[in-house]
Chains A and B, each alone.
Chain A
Amino acid sequence: MTDTTRISGSLRNRLATTLIGGAAVLAVLLFVVVRGYAAQIAQQGQDSILAASASSILDAAIIRDGSVEVDFPYSALSILSTPSDDRIFYAIYRDDTLLSGYESLPRAPFDGSATTAFTTTDFQDDAVRFISARRILVGENLRTHVSVVVGQTQDGLTLTLNRISRNVAVFGIGFFILAALLSYWATSITIERLTRLTISVTRRGPQDLSPVIAPMPVEMAPLVASLNTLMDRLDQSLNRSEEFIAEAAHRVRTPLATVRSYAEATLQRVSKEENRQALRSMVRAIDESSRAAGQLLDHAMITFRADHLEYQDIDLVELVTEFVRSFSPLAEMKDIEFSLHMSPPVHIAGDPILMQNAVRNVIDNALKYSPCESIISITVSAHPNPRVIITDQGPGFPPEQLNTLTERFTRGDNAEGTVGSGLGLTIAQDVALAHEGHLELSNLPKGGACVTFILSA
């Protein structure tokens, strides 16, 4: 069955991929957002220090005797010291004339009436953050603009950012690993319910078509419900067909018996050898048919009963002894002797009707395939498991067919000319399996078949 199941993807993989993929996306998103945020904050930090520096320079600007003096404090530049020794630049302008500081610094354009403006530009091979700030100085009948530009390279900022990025990356990876573990775990427990259902269905005996009754999660309930309905229908249709076979066999057997008795009666009356021969063939054919019908009936019954065995205490020794007694006339006709090896009773719990059927079929086979004047040996033992071993001195099983002989309607190559339907061993095996045992076929080294009927302890 499994070979024909078509596989398309895996629920577990799909679930895990979705969850882990989601976690990865989230982790990356986290990294990008936090890093962006950190960059913004770090930039704000640098900007506010630049602003402080610029405003402390501007604050120092005064007009004295018509000229601008800017006696800015040492701290104006010393607050720009960073651990990574960023370079600094500054320039002080009166209106648009450079008063002091660096020439040709980029001056960010002011926005409307704003007094500060920022810009980041490449200056002397480095990315430099510049602030422009301005102020109006009013002296006696004099009004003038003083503006400053202060710039700082961004090594310290980059360093901070890199450190933050590293931390955030570690955090993101940690988050991802955690989420991946979590999704693996979640996937596992989800799939586990399915696995459990699968196992419980797989473990069932071949005849077990009872509904699944274990409680199921709501998502799986429809599946299980359909499964149960399916099995129910299957069970019904199986039962119906078994019943049909049994009924059919039964219906065939009764008229056959009638026909047989007529044929026998007629055989008594006719004397012409030719006719007697025909009648005898007829009787044999009827026998064969009714035997096959009987076996079909047995088989159907076993299939049916296997689900609900009626356990009783059975003594295997007694069972076998009885059969040997009832087969004795038949055996005597072929000069076959039974050799029995069994002393203490071997008690088992089993379905008596099935057990009888099984043992009868095996002994019947032994008689059928044994040559005249031979010995059939039957051993019943309780160790290690209760078992019945039946050996004969016939041709043995065709070795290459050993594995298939127990299949339904399968007959061996050596069966030609022997009455039979290919169901005997099947019945024996089904009974053994129904009792949690099994059937072993082998050939004796000296020739002859050996059938071991083993039950569970």
Chain B
Amino acid sequence: MRYFYLIGMMLCFVMSGAVFAKDWEEQHLFQAPNHTLTLRVLSSTDTSLFAPIIDQFVQQNPNISVEYLVTGTVDLYDTFRQNASDFDVVISSAMDLQLKLTNDGHALKISGVSHPDWAQWGQGLFAFTAEPAAIVINRAAFAGRRKPQTRQDLILALRARPEVFRGKIGTYDVRASGLGYLFATQDARASETYWRLMEVMGSLDAQLYCCSGEMLDDVANGTLAIAYNVLGSYAHARPDALKKIEVIFPSDFPTTMMRTVFVPKETSQRSAAVSFLKHLILPSTDVSDLGLFRVPFLTSEPNDMGQSMIALEPALLTYLDVLKRRKFIQAWEDAIIQPSF
């Protein structure tokens, strides 16, 4: 286990020892009117995306306040490992890290939740969104040109106009982002195209990002022409950006991540935490109708959905293996970080 932890140490911000002294990316308290207890929700998702659904929860449970703490997926993993009992709900987009925590016995078994089999693991870890990785392009950069629909298209487009794209391609820094690493490993698993694309991107001096949000902002403001493996869902939360950018889900093979949530065994507020989890995974009313829809929740006709998802299974631990990870990062660095001539 120390080894996984070491990964965290290697990759994430310098950790402060105490949770409370920690610098969160975002920290927001949803104050309940008849507050009696506070749920501490550890999440990798921007507050703005979840605010509506948390507001709804607080409305329905007027005695439960929710403290929403946001950090990156890898940091989240390490923070939780160190202070498991400080949190009541853990939400993350890094399915592999979440699965590892569950596999290590940190998730509370919650029985009697009717949730599709492929969207849960061991009655502890529950998936509640389906978010495909997308190619996001700046409309201006492709004005009058065919927009790439597949990874192969993208390679051709990049090769066709290297001078346009040099320095203006973005993707996740897989060393820093858990989600980026998950997308990259799943892409690599699915097709060799991934490596060719990385090489092309490397040769064009690709920019590396920690988060989807920043990539989207940079595509929108023209710093980037293309961003690869971005969460399309974030784009919907930026209505004004949508005018400048286009979100393309590659049609060759989709890599779709499911955001997952679990209640740590260590929590002292089990029932409140469980009802929060149920609120997330079983939206009581149609959230999209209420205008709460900022993340694509799993729908109830998921059979064909299950296929395109990254499977929620213990094999996700494979790329967390320290040897595998070292090798993968090595290969990735070799491809994307090329000495500029």
Contact = CB atoms under 8 A, between A and B. Distances in A.
Contacts of B86: none
Contact of B327 (A69, A86, A89, A98): A69
Interface in B189-221: 189
Interface stretch (A77-85, A189-197, A307-315, A447-455): A77-85
B302 interface: no
Interface core residue of B2, B3, B123 (most chain A CB under 10 Å) = B3
A83 B117 contact: yes
Interface stretch (A100-108, A229-237, A290-298): A100-108
B1 A100 contact: no
Nearest to A78: B315
A56 to B, nearest CB: 11
Interface in A95-137: 98-103, 124-126
A99 B322 contact: yes
Contacts of A74: 189, 315, 318
B33 interface: no
A444 to B, nearest CB: 90
Given A77-B318, A83-B117, A102-B1, A125 B105 contact: yes
Nearest to B328: A71
Interface of B: 1-3, 103-105, 117, 120-123, 189, 311, 313-315, 317-318, 321-324, 327
Which interface class (under 10, 10 to 19, 20 to 34, 35 or more) fits A? Answer: 20 to 34
Given A70-B321, A72-B318, A84-B122, 5 more contacts: A72-B321, A77-B314, A85-B120, A85-B121, A98-B3
B314 A88 contact: yes
Closest 7 pairs between A and B when the two form their complex, measured CB to CB: A78-B315, A85-B122, A100-B322, A77-B315, A81-B313, A88-B314, A100-B323
Nearest to A152: B314
A99 B323 CA distance: 7
A100 B117 contact: no
Contacts of A375: none
B317 A88 contact: yes
Contacts of A98: 3
Nearest to B313: A81
Contacts of A92: 321, 323
A80 B314 contact: yes
B1 A71 contact: no
Contacts of B322: 99-101
Interface core residue of A77, A89, A124 (most chain B CB under 10 Å) = A77
B199 to A, nearest CB: 19
Nearest to A104: B1
25 contacts: A70-B323, A71-B323, A72-B324, A73-B318, A74-B318, A77-B314, A77-B315, A77-B317, A78-B313, A78-B314, A78-B315, A80-B315, A81-B313, A81-B314, A81-B315, A83-B117, A85-B120, A87-B122, A87-B314, A90-B317, A99-B322, A100-B3, A100-B323, A101-B321, A103-B3
Contacts of B317: 77, 88, 90
A238 interface: no
A79 B223 CA distance: 44
Nearest to A100: B322
A404 interface: no
A98 B321 CA distance: 12
A70 B322 CA distance: 10
A281 interface: no
Contacts of B314: 77-78, 80-81, 86-88
A78 B96 CA distance: 13
Interface core residue of A74, A75, A84, A92 (most chain B CB under 10 Å) = A74
Nearest to A68: B323
B321 A124 contact: no
Nearest to B317: A77
A87 B105 contact: yes
A170 to B, nearest CB: 25
A74 B321 CA distance: 11
Contacts of B321: 70, 72, 92, 100-101
Contacts of A103: 1-3
Nearest to B331: A71
A76 interface: yes
Nearest to A98: B3
Contacts of A88: 103, 314, 317
Contact of A124 (B3, B105, B121, B311): B105
A83 to B, nearest CB: 7
A80 B99 CA distance: 14
A201 to B, nearest CB: 69
A125 B313 CA distance: 21
A97 to B, nearest CB: 12
B318 A76 contact: yes
A372 to B, nearest CB: 107
Nearest to B185: A74
Contacts of B313: 78, 81
A306 B327 CA distance: 116
A161 to B, nearest CB: 19
Given A87-B103, A88-B103, A101 B3 contact: yes
Interface core residue of A86, A102, A103 (most chain B CB under 10 Å) = A102
Contacts of B311: 78, 81
B314 to A, nearest CB: 5
A71 B324 contact: yes
A3 to B, nearest CB: 67
A95 B122 CA distance: 34
A325 to B, nearest CB: 107
Interface in A34-49: none
Contacts of A124: 104-105
